[in-house]
Structure 1
Amino acid sequence: MNDTIPDLERLRAELDRIDRELIERAAQRQRVVSEIGRAKGFAGRQLRDFRREREVLDGVRAHAASLGLDADVAEALLATLIEASLTRQETERVVLAAQGQGKRALVIGGAGRLGAWLVRFLDSQGYAPLVADPAVDSASEGGFSDWREAPEDVELIVIAAPIEPSRKILEALIERAPNALVFDVASVKAPLVDGLRRAASTGLKICSVHPMFGPDTRLLAGRHVLLMDCGHAGALAEARALFADTMVELVELDLAEHDRLMAWVLGLSHALNLVFAATLAAAEIPAERLAEISSTTFGRQLGIASAVVAENPRLYFEIQHMNPNHPGVVDGLRAVIEELARALRQGDEPAFVELMQRGRAWTKRHRDASRDAANRAHGQ
């Protein structure tokens, strides 16, 4: 017993030493990553090279196997390091490009979660960001509780307010006619369409943008930003240029098509997760009991649902209620639930199987289409 305890302490000390070396090597890797990013920038090459990533991961798996280490563990470790590397390279390229150097940007709604992300993003580009938000103290430097108190001589105005205030802000901007690029980032465009088009017709340099990611996002690779032309082609080009030094995928979309697609992409996914969480809340089984016996599928679904219901409920209500296409989505969801209930009630196994096969076929088409789109985007 006396021999075992000192041996355990020695082994723990050895493990601590190895862990420190791992961290030191990871930090060294990040320094090399920065140099690679700069070299790619000077050569005009894309930051992300999927073929190279696959070569690295395949090599790591083979090396891990030769050492008796689980290849999946090795790949997961390197995949995390690669993502950290890409995040660092992307951030450094944006800073180095300094697109906003010497310019000012006004973010209306800049104290909100997405607004704050936009403030950080523009700041990294060299812009001097001004934040207008009712939650901001006007006495703070660069802060304004009323956007109308902010300076008019800015090069960029981003409307990141809730949808109804955004509509009113847009109307006021038409009257003010600023000499700046203007765009909104609303998740639903229907209440803004008339104002956006009227603003463009008056000569305002305006377009519409929709970042398809949350405010906690750091790496933009694999993310999408939707760009919509409102009638001023120059505005679209300038908005596109804001993201030119990132790895985000820019998708041009017809303004009239936006809400129809978002009803399914956002509306359905939000509704499903809200229904999932609310159904559990109404169940007679306590959460504590289910926590003791969670399955893999339940845990994954609960994780997604938890993230959804933790968001701003007023914003999520706007996304559902203000989208004119939401009734079709809710009706479609109701029809499938009734179809499932009928199959179970009647013991109709073929109908149940057909439901699963239908869903499997659609998700496969989506997966294949996503892979093909990624390959095209990266010239593969």
Structure 2
Amino acid sequence: MKDLQALREKLSSLDVELLEMVARRQEIVAEIGRVKSSAGRGTRDYAREKDVLNLARQTARRVGVDEDIGEEMFRLLIRASLAAQELDKVTSERTGSGKRALVVGGAGQMGQWFVRFLDAQGYSIELCDPKPAASGHPRFATLDDTDLAHDLIVLATPIRESVSLLEQLTSRKPTGVVFDISSLKGPLAGSLQNLVTAGCLVTSIHPMFGPDTELLSGRNVVFVDLGVPEATATVRELFSSTMAEQVSMSLDGHDHAMAYVLGLSHAVNIAFFNALSQSGEEAEELAKLSSSTFDAQMDVASRVAEENPYLYFEIQSLNTHSPRALVTLLNAVTQVAGRVLDGDEKGFVELMAQGKAFLARRPEDRP
């Protein structure tokens, strides 16, 4: 047992050294990021990442470590490096220095994300939310309690609540840039147009990521210009120092796409975990027999199950394009069931081939 204890102590010492080396690596990464920024170069260098991953696999092979483990370790390090460089760039540019930002719904999860994001850019942050927030910024319970003399006003609120808030803003005509982050735009269309008609600087965006996101590389931010290009340009600038992809869409085009990107994917997972819960099978027993496909689906479904059910219902019920997507899902499930119950192997294989052909058209640079 003494030998075992000695080996464990040696291993713990090595673990500490590994983390110390990671810290030193991050210091060098920060220096590289600053050099890139001063030279006007982008944060991400895909060619360099490929070289680093190739080196990881070669080194792993040479020292007798599984190559996949070596590559996965370095992918994690690259991701941490990019997140650190992105945050450093956002913070160093200080585009919001001397400006005020009001985050309505700032105590919520996405509200808190925007609080951190704008705070890093130097904005003086205030919250409008009846609920307290952990961030410690000045907070107002309602819009009536604020002077609305802010350079930015962010609506990070539920869809129905956003409609009412936009109407309140229309009556007060704030001079700063106003934008919502709603998952749907159709229900807000009339209220957004009222703000435009009132002469306000207003635009609309949809961050296609969750509140736990730290690195924006590979993430999309959808911009819906409402005919006020100055407002859209201001909000685009907020993300210019990040690696987020900025996507332009029309208001109706956005909601049509969201019926499938959000609505359909949510519905599939909700149907999946409800089918399991109604099957009479025990989750513990299924876990013992799980496969790679089942585990992957369970991981996604488990994350969906933890989301806000009221928001998810709004995304389904308030989108005028949802019925078509849901009927398409029903038809697809019926087709699969029909092929199986009829013993139609050819038809089943054709369904698989049809799906495979569709998925093959997905760009290679997407996850």
TM-based fold match above 0.5: yes
Residue 135 of structure 1: CA displacement? 1.2
Taking the aligned partners of 2:198 and 2:116, their CA distance within structure 1 comes to 31
How do 1:284-323 and structure 2 match up within 5 A?
Answer: 284-323=280-319
The answer on whether the counterparts of 1:183 and 1:208 sit within 8 Å (CA) in structure 2 is yes
2:106 matched residue in structure 1 = 110
1:166 matched residue in structure 2 = 162
Residue 16 of structure 1: CA displacement? 1.6
Residue 106 of structure 1: CA displacement? 0.6
2:119 matched residue in structure 1 = 123
Q: Are positions 1:237 and 2:233 aligned together?
A: yes
Q: Are positions 1:39 and 2:39 aligned together?
A: no
The answer on whether the counterparts of 1:134 and 1:146 sit within 8 Å (CA) in structure 2 is yes
Q: Where do 5+ consecutive residues of structure 1 fail to align?
A: 375-380
Instruction: Give the alignment partner of residue 217 of structure 1, picking from 207, 210, 213.
Output: 213
How do 1:277-356 and structure 2 match up within 5 A?
Answer: 277-356=273-352
Q: Does 276-285 or 8-17 show the bigger shift?
A: 8-17
The answer on whether the counterparts of 2:131 and 2:141 sit within 8 Å (CA) in structure 1 is yes
Residue 7 of structure 1: CA displacement? 2.7
4+ long deviations beyond 4 Å: none
TM-score normalised by length of structure 2: 0.97
1:187 matched residue in structure 2 = 183
User: In the TM superposition, what whole-angstrom CA distance separates every residue of 1:190-227 from its partner, at most 9, and x where no partner exists?
Assistant: 11112212322332111100000000101111000000
1:15 matched residue in structure 2 = 11
Residue 141 of structure 1: CA displacement? 5.4
CA RMSD of aligned residues (A): 1.4
Instruction: Give the alignment partner of residue 26 of structure 2, picking from 4, 8, 30.
Output: 30
Residue 299 of structure 1: CA displacement? 1.1
Instruction: Give the alignment partner of residue 89 of structure 1, picking from 85, 91, 98.
Output: 85
Q: Where do 5+ consecutive residues of structure 2 fail to align?
A: none
Taking the aligned partners of 1:64 and 1:246, their CA distance within structure 2 comes to 32
Compared CA separation, residues 12 and 136, structure 1 to 2 (3 A) = closer
Please give the secondary structure, in 2, of the residue aligned with 1:27: helix
Taking the aligned partners of 1:311 and 1:14, their CA distance within structure 2 comes to 43
The answer on whether the counterparts of 2:259 and 2:325 sit within 8 Å (CA) in structure 1 is yes
Taking the aligned partners of 1:134 and 1:320, their CA distance within structure 2 comes to 26
Aligned residues, how many?
365
Taking the aligned partners of 1:141 and 1:232, their CA distance within structure 2 comes to 30
The answer on whether the counterparts of 2:125 and 2:137 sit within 8 Å (CA) in structure 1 is no
Taking the aligned partners of 2:16 and 2:137, their CA distance within structure 1 comes to 42
User: In the TM superposition, what whole-angstrom CA distance separates every residue of 1:79-106 from its partner, at most 9, and x where no partner exists?
Assistant: 1111011111111111101111111101
The answer on whether the counterparts of 1:201 and 1:231 sit within 8 Å (CA) in structure 2 is no
Taking the aligned partners of 1:60 and 1:309, their CA distance within structure 2 comes to 37
The answer on whether the counterparts of 1:136 and 1:144 sit within 8 Å (CA) in structure 2 is no
**Identity score, percent:** 45
The answer on whether the counterparts of 1:197 and 1:231 sit within 8 Å (CA) in structure 2 is no
Residue 6 of structure 1: CA displacement? 3.0
Please give the secondary structure, in 1, of the residue aligned with 2:361: helix
Taking the aligned partners of 1:122 and 1:93, their CA distance within structure 2 comes to 13
2:219 partner amino acid: R
Q: Are positions 1:136 and 2:113 aligned together?
A: no
Residue 180 of structure 1: CA displacement? 0.3
2:55 matched residue in structure 1 = 59
TM-score normalised by length of structure 1: 0.93
Please give the secondary structure, in 1, of the residue aligned with 2:252: helix
Residue 133 of structure 1: CA displacement? 1.1
1:268 partner amino acid: L
Q: Are positions 1:100 and 2:96 aligned together?
A: yes
Taking the aligned partners of 2:363 and 2:124, their CA distance within structure 1 comes to 41
Please give the secondary structure, in 2, of the residue aligned with 1:366: coil
